[in-house]
Amino acid sequence: MSPNAHITSHRKPRRPASQSWVVRTGVAGGVLSTLAVAGAGSASASADKPTEATMEMPAFNADLATSIAQSAVATQQTAVDYQVRAQVEEALDNAKTDAKKAKDEAERKAEAERKAKEKAEADEARASRGGERSALGTKSASADESGTSVSTKKSSATGSAATLVDFLYSKVGKAYVMGSTGPNAYDCSGLVMAAYSQIGIDLPRVSQDQSTVGTQVSTSNLQVGDILYWGPAGSATHVAVYVGGGNFIGAQNSNDGVVERSLSYSPPTGAVRVL
């Protein structure tokens, strides 16, 4: 007997070959089933992902399209606003240009009308003065308020006074133009200055200064050649020259021009004597 004969063997008894094949087949089948299930799950998961991506894409594309559309609308609105502003600015510029043209045209017409009116007044005044000169020539021997004729008044002056008076009478009928000193138009102080320059006396240009030259004299004690003034001395508004016989010659205004008038026509405020 073997020494180990009493020891019980721990080996597992051999299974029949057919049973072992069955077991292996079952295990393989289980593994295949597991793989099939896993594969099916994986396939299912794989199938779900494209579905999810396909479901998300329309939403994304719609938002993008909306954003693009809004951007296009905003861009178009900006372009329209810019165009409108440009048109408004152009219209304003055109309106300003038209307004300036209209203003210039109105001023031009007004100036033309003013000149035409002045010319008409000057023509009328010249015609009137021409009539006065004709009447003056026909009454050379007639008497004025003092009983002295015009011809006697002109011849009563001698020397420088006569030269002065002759010059003044030669200017009767000339036009009155503000700022003029001759020879065809005068204002009041321009005529007095021009008359005295004939006898070598230089007078100030304006009536205010002419009313203070020489010696102040009473209007009741006048001599031929005295300068008459209207208004306060130093602030006179008009001047003329006394030519004797109670008359003076002066450049009156744009209507009358250079005329001879009686002291009673417009009594002077004062007088100064330069001769």
Given 113, 138, 163, the domain boundary residue is 138
Given 138, 153, 169, the domain boundary residue is 138
Given 115, 138, 161, the domain boundary residue is 138
**Per-residue pLDDT tens over the stretch 59-82:** 556 677 777 777 777 787 787 777
E strand map for 179-253: 185-186, 215-217, 227-230, 238-244, 247-251
34, part of any domain: yes
205, part of any domain: yes
Q: Tell me, yes or no, whether 162 and 228 share the same domain.
A: yes
Q: Tell me, yes or no, whether 153 and 96 share the same domain.
A: no
3, part of any domain: no
258, part of any domain: yes
- Which pLDDT belongs to residue 143? 36
**Under 8 Å CB-to-CB from 213, ≥6 apart: which residues?**
203, 204, 227, 272, 274
- Determine if the pTM surpasses 0.75: no
**Hey, what long-range contacts does 156-164 have (CB within 8 A, 24 or more apart)?**
156/224, 156/244, 156/245, 157/224, 157/225, 157/243, 157/244, 160/199, 160/225, 160/275, 161/223, 161/224, 161/225, 161/275, 163/198, 163/199, 164/195, 164/196, 164/198, 164/199, 164/224, 164/225, 164/241, 164/275
pLDDT tops 60 at residue 83: yes
Q: Tell me, yes or no, whether 216 and 236 share the same domain.
A: yes
Which residues form the domain of 178? 143-273
pLDDT tier at 97 (50, 70, 90 boundaries)? confident
- Which pLDDT belongs to residue 130? 53
- Which pLDDT belongs to residue 146? 38
125, part of any domain: yes
Counting the structural domains of the chain, the total is 2
Q: Tell me, yes or no, whether 160 and 124 share the same domain.
A: no
pLDDT tier at 273 (50, 70, 90 boundaries)? very high
- Which pLDDT belongs to residue 267? 96
pLDDT tier at 175 (50, 70, 90 boundaries)? very high
- Residues 176-202, mean pLDDT to the nearest whole number: 96
**Per-residue pLDDT tens over the stretch 112-164:** 878 777 777 766 666 655 555 444 443 433 334 433 334 334 446 889 999 99
- Which pLDDT belongs to residue 79? 78
Q: Which of 53-57, 104-108, 212-216 has the lowest mean pLDDT?
A: 53-57
Q: Tell me, yes or no, whether 81 and 191 share the same domain.
A: no
Q: Tell me, yes or no, whether 106 and 182 share the same domain.
A: no
14, part of any domain: no
Q: Tell me, yes or no, whether 150 and 249 share the same domain.
A: yes
Q: Tell me, yes or no, whether 38 and 131 share the same domain.
A: yes
